[in-house]
Amino acid sequence: MGLFILRRFGIMILTALCLTFIVFWLTNLYPKLEVLAKTQGNFRMSDEAVTTFLDNRGYTQALPIKYGQWLGVLPGYVIEGSDGETRARCELRGPPSDINPPLSRYCGIIQGNWGFSTVAKVEVSDVLPTRLANTGKLMFWVMLVMIPGALTIGVLAGMREGSKMDRSLSTVSIVSTATPEYVSGVILIALFATPLFGMQFFKGSAASAVDDANFNNFFLPVITIALYGMGYIARMTRASMTEVMTAQFVRTARLKGVSFRNIVMKHALRNALIAPFTVIMLQVPWLLNGVVIVETLFTYQGFGWELVRAASNNDIEMLLGISVISVFVVLMTQLISDIGYVFLNPRIRIS
Amino acid sequence: MDALTWTGSFGSTLIPALAIAVGFFLAGIILQLIMTTFATEVKLQSNADGTLKARSGPLGQLEKLNSQIFLLILLLLAAIIVVSWFMPYGKAGILGEISKRFLPVWTALIVTFVFSIMFKRKLGLYGKLFDSTVGMIGYALVMFWVFTAIFVGLFDMIATHDPLQQVSGLKIKEPGTAVPDGQDAEFFPHYLLGGDNLARDIFSRVVHGSIIVMIIAPLATVFAFMLGITLGLPAGYYGGKLDTILSFVANLILAFPVILLFFLLVTPELIDLGVPNYMAAVLFIFPLVFFAVLINSRYYTQPSKNTLHLALILLPLIYVYAAGISEQDTVLYFLPASFDAFTLPREILVVFVSVVFVNSPTVFRIVRGLALDIKTRDYVAAAQTRGERPWYIMLWEILPNARGPLIVDFCLRIGYTTILLGTLGFFGLGLASESPDWGSTINAGRKLLLFATHLALPPAIALLSLVLGLNLLADGLREESLKD
């Protein structure tokens, strides 16, 4: 078991390094840096001015070296610029403190230096925690709505395979998986946030939910994300439930005369809920997509909203920070689902 | 011209009747659900001649009644379509006029269904689809959009206006607004679903948007399948180092949040550098490899036949490949212009490439899993004992036996690709902002959503109906293929 976790962990780190390197490469392409120089300096810069601007700030170093510096395994650059000013990567933007001794040699993500957002003009590490907290709040409510709803639908449908209940609930879950967030969001806003059908119960924007989330401004974004994920988890639960309901021990219980209600509640349910656990965990990366769409649609200033802003403005270090976090979340959920599956299911032992 | 109302003169007769029927139908379904939890289940029983007995009891009665109501709904819908066709212009309301515009689609749908049901016993899996109601509904929805795309794209029939034409005075106007006087005489006199924020006709944009989806989504899915099959089969069959490396790369792409990948790939700077062209050059070669290996492994022992077949299939494909990736003013430009039969617009190419790129790892994983499962079967062992070569076993023994799950996944994946295309449009990535595809139209409409819902709703509903149709179709196919 220990070796298994260790091996998974090694693969995880390798994946994370590859992914961040790809993001690093794609954000540091020369045309993108040129745009960056022009937005930072001025828009009528000549080509030479752009080159010296980038040279002075260490952007034109070789890609692996830049990546190493960003990661914190290579010492940060110290460049004496052509304008006479000396710039260093590890130069402090704020006043020096005990924690950050001035001009430490290494300052990458490993040392806790997430970099500086060139668009918002703040440290990335100042912005991301608040954004993440906002998204965490959203996700908490999504999970609270989605998981019980999906499990109930799945169990009710899988209880009696092929019954009316099964067929109607399966159709409902197909409809929900076929509705991407940007469609259900638009339809829900049209139904419940505009006077079109006389049902203006909620607000169409969740901008105010950042500080003060209530039923009125938070319900629509939560339900929009939950609906898309719900159908998939419900179908997986249904499949697992129908499998358990045809198992030998359920037949034995039935032959012994246990009532249907007791069979479902005491015998089937516990065994049927192992598989959905994995599915819920693997659903998290998909929820991440939903979060980006919904936060953009409802202008909720969370992690996804920041991703869109950083990506459309080529805010390099912010984007890198965001991809580190999202890659970490995705890989962690994969790891948890693997380990959790082994723990929950005694029939699986890893040699 | 007066503005149109939603229902026109049907407003007092057929539409309320339809609404009541639908209400009764839904109530019936809910009542049945409640009753099944209390009433004892009535098992289906057969008569002596093999036919099924009708279910008895209140539940059976209700079931019968409900199926009759469902027929009534279908009849009412048909009546609305037929009656509106005979009504003079403007009397049938917006819904009636829209159904009139779709007349070629209705005809094509009816012809397809009549012929398919007539010959369904001879049509294999496709014919079996017509045994399941869910599958038929899904197929109808999908074919509706397929025919719409064909009639709009090839015959210029359904759309009322040009999707880019702006008519002054119709900016963000309600559905059914009349086009002001002083335009051309043969101009369609109304904006059926209103005007958008640039005073273009929303109805025409939605039906034109179906063309883009109908070309890109199935084609991108085919390419993703070619790639997934060509790499997934050897990964599953050989295993070992090859499998480890390929699986690692596939998991790497899957661990990327899709939207982040889109934001990084689909940027003007990257397009100028020619990254999509290089990616296209790599991704588009897999169909060539697939067909080359497919034929070579089959006719390896008959060299003359082998060369003939290879030449017949590969030469046109190589030409299409060359013409497809060689584009003027990009990094890959090697064919002379007179020889280059077609050019893919840059923005379409980048969207296409990124969608294929995102889809293929999942296909790879599915094919690899199927290959791992099937390679333990007896017929594979028999082929190995016969001394067949590995690629013959993979492509002519394993692949045909994996077709069931692959066909089902193909349908689902077209739907998913449609969702991805919509996502790209929703963030304004790739396609030009005036493009009528559904994602871009939703993107334009969502900014005004709280003030004018009719901008974003029609494309949203169109996208929903297509994806829903594909999902229902996949479900029907799965059900019917499992019955074997």
Q: Quick one: average pLDDT of A283-308?
A: 89
* Domain layout of chain A by residue ranges: 2-105, 132-344
Could you identify the residue written with the tokens 């401004």? A217
Tens digit of pLDDT for each residue in A189-223?
Answer: 999 888 877 778 888 788 888 888 788 888 999 99
- CA-nearest of B82, B92, B97, B100 to B12 is B92
pLDDT at A118: 81
Q: Which residues of B touch A308 (CB under 8 A)?
A: 263, 427
Domain A132-344 fold is MetI-like fold (1.10.3720)
Report how far residue A242's alpha carbon sits from residue A67's, in angstroms, rounded to the nearest whole number: 50
Q: Which residues of A touch B266 (CB under 8 A)?
A: none
Q: Which of residues 178-217 of B touch A (CB under 8 A)?
A: none
Cα–Cα nearest to B288, from B325, B243, B250: B325
Q: How would residue B148 be classed by pLDDT, with cut points 50, 70 and 90?
A: very high
User: Residue A87 pairs with which residues in a beta bridge?
Assistant: A79
Interchain pair A174, B467: CB under 8 A: no
CA atoms within 13 A on the CB side of B271: 20
Segment B20-26 shows an average pLDDT of 91
**DSSP-based three-state secondary structure for A301:** coil
Give the long-range contacts of residues B32-38, CB within 8 A, separation 24 or more: B32/A164, B32/B59, B32/B62, B32/B63, B32/B66, B33/A164, B33/A165, B33/A168, B35/B59, B35/B62, B36/A163, B36/A164, B36/A165, B37/A165
Q: Which residues of A touch B33 (CB under 8 A)?
A: 164-165, 168
**Cβ B427 vs Cβ B443: under 8 Å:** yes
CB contact, 8 Å: A332 with chain B?
Answer: no
CA B420 – CA B415 distance, rounded (Å): 9
The neighbour count for residue B147, using CB atoms within 10 Å, is 22
| A31 has a chain B CB within 8 A of its CB | yes
Cα(B124)–Cα(B323) distance, rounded to whole angstroms?
Answer: 37
- Whether the per-residue pLDDT at A99 is higher than 60: the answer is no
Whether residue A182 and residue B426 make contact (CB cut-off 8 A), yes or no, is yes
Nearest to B127 by CA among B136, B141, B117: B117
Mean pLDDT (chain B, rounded): 87
Residue A122 host element (H or E) = strand A122-123
- Burial per residue of A204-241, b for 16 or more beta-carbon CB atoms within 10 angstroms, e otherwise: bbbeebbeebeeebbbbbbbbbbbbbbbbbbbbbbbbb
Higher pLDDT, A69 or A93: A69
Q: Residues B377-390: what's their mean pLDDT?
A: 93
CB B286 within 8 A of CB B356: no
Q: Which residue of A has its CA nearest to B258?
A: A289
Q: pLDDT tens digits, residue range B167-205? A: 877 888 888 888 877 665 567 788 888 888 888 889 999
Helical spans, DSSP H, in A193-315: 215-245, 248-255, 260-262, 269-272, 274-297, 303-312
Contact A183 B463 (CB under 8 A): yes
Cβ of residue B40 closer than 8 Å to a chain A Cβ: no
CA distance A29 to A104: 28
Residue A198, phi then psi, degrees to nearest 5 = 70, 25
Residue A42: pLDDT band by 50, 70, 90 thresholds?
A: confident
Q: How far apart are CA B415 and CA B404, in angstroms?
A: 18
**CB distance from B134 to chain A under 8 Å?**
yes
Q: According to DSSP H, which parts of A81-214 are helical?
A: 124-159, 164-177, 181-192
Does residue B384 have a pLDDT over 90? yes
pTM: 0.90
Whole-angstrom distance, CA of residue B198 vs CA of residue B170: 8
Q: Residue A95 forms beta bridges with which residues?
A: none
d(CA A219, CA A138): 10
Q: How many residues does chain A have?
A: 351
Phi, psi of B191 (to 5 degrees): -95, 105
pLDDT given for residue B42 in this prediction: 59
CB distance from A28 to chain B under 8 Å? no
Q: Cα(A165)–Cα(A158) distance, rounded to whole angstroms? A: 9
Residue contact B419–A334, C-beta within 8 A: no
- Length of chain B (residues): 484
Which of A182, A188, A199, A307 has the highest number of chain B CBs within 10 A, making it the mutation to test binding with B?
A182
Residue of B37, B258, B460 with shortest CB distance to A186: B460
3-state secondary structure of A325: helix
Give this complex's ipTM. Answer: 0.89
Say yes or no for a CB contact (<8 Å) between A194 and B427: no
C-alpha–C-alpha distance, residues A169 and A160, integer Å = 12
If we measure between CA atoms, which residue out of B201, B270, B460 comes closest to residue A180?
B460
CA distance A315 to B469: 40
* B252:A15 CB<8 A: yes
Q: Which residues of chain B are within 8 Å of residue A174 when distances are taken between CB atoms?
A: 468, 471-472, 475
Q: Which of B205-219, B302-316, B329-343 has the lowest mean pLDDT?
A: B329-343
Question: Measured on CA atoms in the order B347, B351, B356, B358, is the torsion positive or negative?
Answer: positive
CA distance A303 to A134: 7
At B457 the pLDDT is 92
Per mean pLDDT, which of A209-213, B28-32, B46-50, B342-346 is the most reliable?
Answer: B28-32
Residue B51, pLDDT > 80, answer: no
CA-based nearest distance B188→chain A, Å:
27
- Residues of chain B found within 8 Å of residue A189, distances taken between Cβ atoms: 449-450, 453
What was the pLDDT predicted at A62? 86
Mean pLDDT across chain A, nearest whole number?
Answer: 84
* pLDDT higher than threshold 50 for residue A351: no
pLDDT at res. A121: 82
The H or E element that residue B177 is part of is: strand B177-178
Mean pLDDT of B91-103: 84
What is the nearest CA distance from B403 to chain A, expressed in angstroms?
21
pLDDT beyond 70 at A93: no
DSSP string, B270-286: HHHHTHHHHHHHHHTHH
**In the predicted model, what is the mean pLDDT of residues A121-130?**
87
* Confidence band for A256, pLDDT divided at 50, 70 and 90: very high
Instruction: Tell me how many degrees the CA angle A56-A62-A67 measures, rounded to the nearest 5.
Output: 95
Higher-scoring residue by pLDDT: B61, A253: A253
Mean pLDDT in residue range B120-135: 87
Q: Does B264 touch chain A (CB under 8 A)?
A: yes
pLDDT at site A92: 58
What is the identity of the amino acid at A78? V
The number of C-alpha atoms within 13 Å of A282 and in the hemisphere containing its C-beta is 15
Q: Is residue A338 within 8 Å of A8, Cβ to Cβ?
A: yes
> In angstroms, rounded to a whole number, what is the distance separating the alpha carbons of residues A260 and B449?
49
